[in-house]
Amino acid sequence: MKIYDSLSDDLTRFIHAQPLFLTASAPTHGAHVNVSPKGMSSSHLAVLSPNRVSYIDRTGSGCETVAHVYENGRLTLMFMSFGPSPRIMRLFCRGRVVEHADPGFRAAVDEIVAVRSRIAGEAGPEARSVFQGARAVIVGDIWRVTTSCGFAVPMVRLGATAPADAAEGDEGADGGAVVRAFQERDVLDRYIKGQVEKGIMPRYQRDNNSYSLDGLPALKAARRDGGESLLWADVRARATRLWHEKVAVCVGFLLAVLVYRVGSILHLL
C-alpha cells in the first residue's frame, strides 16, 4: 500500500477514467455501515483540486451518505481498475453536503460540469449540465489517499462488436463471442424525469430521504417540506449522540471534579 497526502496528476487521471466508484460512510454510533455504488457519468464526480473532489447526489430510495456526512463528516470514496493495469484507490475525506435548496448549489454543480466538460473535450462522452432529481452535491476534502495493487478485482474484457440487444455469449459481427463491458442504464433518468414532470419529487424525498436507517436527520429540504422543526430534530439527534457517549461524558466530569479538588488543595497549601 502507498499513502499520499493529496492527488497527483496521474492519480487524478486514473479517477476520471473509471466508469464507477463506491462511497462508504457510517453513523458515529448506529449499526449500519453504508456502501453505495455510483456511475461516474450519472454522478459526474470531478477532482476539483489535489485535495478536493465532489459529485452530484441524485435522488434515491435512501439517504445514508447525506445523513452520515451531516452527523460526523466521515466519507471514503473507492475507485478500482477493471483493465490490465490493476489498482485500487481510496480517498479518505471530510465530507460536506450542499443541498439543492442551498444558495451555493448551482455554483457547486457548475464547478463539477466545468471539469467534466474539459475532460470530455480531451476524450470521452459529452458532459451534461442538467441533472434532474439532483438533491445535493457531496464535497469531499481529502486528507489521505491510499493505493494498492487490486489483483483481486476482475478485468472487464472487450469482446466482439455486436448489436446493443445481443446477449452475452452470442456471436459478434467479427465472429467472436460477445463479452459485455460497462453500459450505462437510462432507467434512473427516465424514472426521475417522470417524477419531476408529475411534480411528485418533493413528496418522494420527504417520504424516503428525511432520515437514515439509524434515524439520523438527512435531507433538510425533505424534512422542511414535511413540516418538521429542523432545530428540534437536530437537538434531539445531538442529545441521542451524547447519550451514547455517556461513559466519556461521565469520565470527563469526574476528571474535571478531580482537577478542581486538587487545585483547591494546592491553593490552600
Question: Does residue 168 share a domain with residue 80?
Answer: no
Stretch 28-56: mean pLDDT: 93
pLDDT at 120: 78
Stretch 89-106: mean pLDDT: 96
- Burial status of residue 43 (CB atoms within 10 A of its CB: 0-12, 13-18, 19 or more): buried
Contact 145, 4 (CB under 8 A): yes
Question: Does residue 160 share a domain with residue 150?
Answer: no
Question: Does residue 105 share a domain with residue 12?
Answer: yes
Q: Nearest Cα to 90, choosing from 38, 16, 142?
A: 142
pLDDT at 172: 47
pLDDT at 257: 87
- The neighbouring-strand residues paired with 38 are 21
Which residues, 6 or more positions from 189, have their beta carbon under 8 angstroms from its beta carbon? 42, 132
DSSP string over 149-181? --TTSPP--------TTPPTTSB-TTSSBP---
pLDDT at 176: 53
Contact 46, 112 (CB under 8 A): yes
DSSP 126: P
pLDDT at 169: 52
Stretch 235-261: mean pLDDT: 80
Contact 212, 63 (CB under 8 A): yes
pLDDT at 32 over 90: yes
Q: Nearest Cα to 204, choosing from 221, 186, 229, 185?
A: 221
pLDDT in tens, 144-199: 999 999 999 988 766 555 555 555 455 544 555 555 567 767 777 788 888 888 88
Query: Chain-wide mean pLDDT for the chain?
Result: 85
Least confident of 43-47, 76-80, 151-155: 151-155
What length does the chain have?
Answer: 269
Question: Does residue 180 share a domain with residue 146?
Answer: no
The CATH number of the domain where 101 resides is what?
A: 2.30.110.10
pLDDT at 14 over 60: yes
- The neighbouring-strand residues paired with 3 are 146
Find the domain containing 180 and state its range: 156-185
Please tell me the chain's helix, strand, coil percentages from 3-state DSSP, rounded to the nearest 5.
Answer: 40, 25, 40
Question: Does residue 67 share a domain with residue 143?
Answer: yes
Question: Does residue 168 share a domain with residue 60?
Answer: no
Question: Does residue 170 share a domain with residue 63?
Answer: no
Q: Nearest Cα to 100, choosing from 22, 194, 205, 187?
A: 205
pLDDT at 73: 97
DSSP 213: T
pTM of the model: 0.81
- The neighbouring-strand residues paired with 145 are 4, 91
Question: Does residue 11 share a domain with residue 118?
Answer: yes
Measured between alpha carbons, how far is 135 from 133 in angstroms, rounded to an integer? 6
* Number of separate domains in the chain: 3
Question: Does residue 110 share a domain with residue 166?
Answer: no
Question: Does residue 170 share a domain with residue 65?
Answer: no
Question: Does residue 208 share a domain with residue 169?
Answer: no
Question: Does residue 243 share a domain with residue 134?
Answer: no
Q: How many CB atoms lie within 10 A of CB 262?
A: 10
CA 209 to chain centre: 15
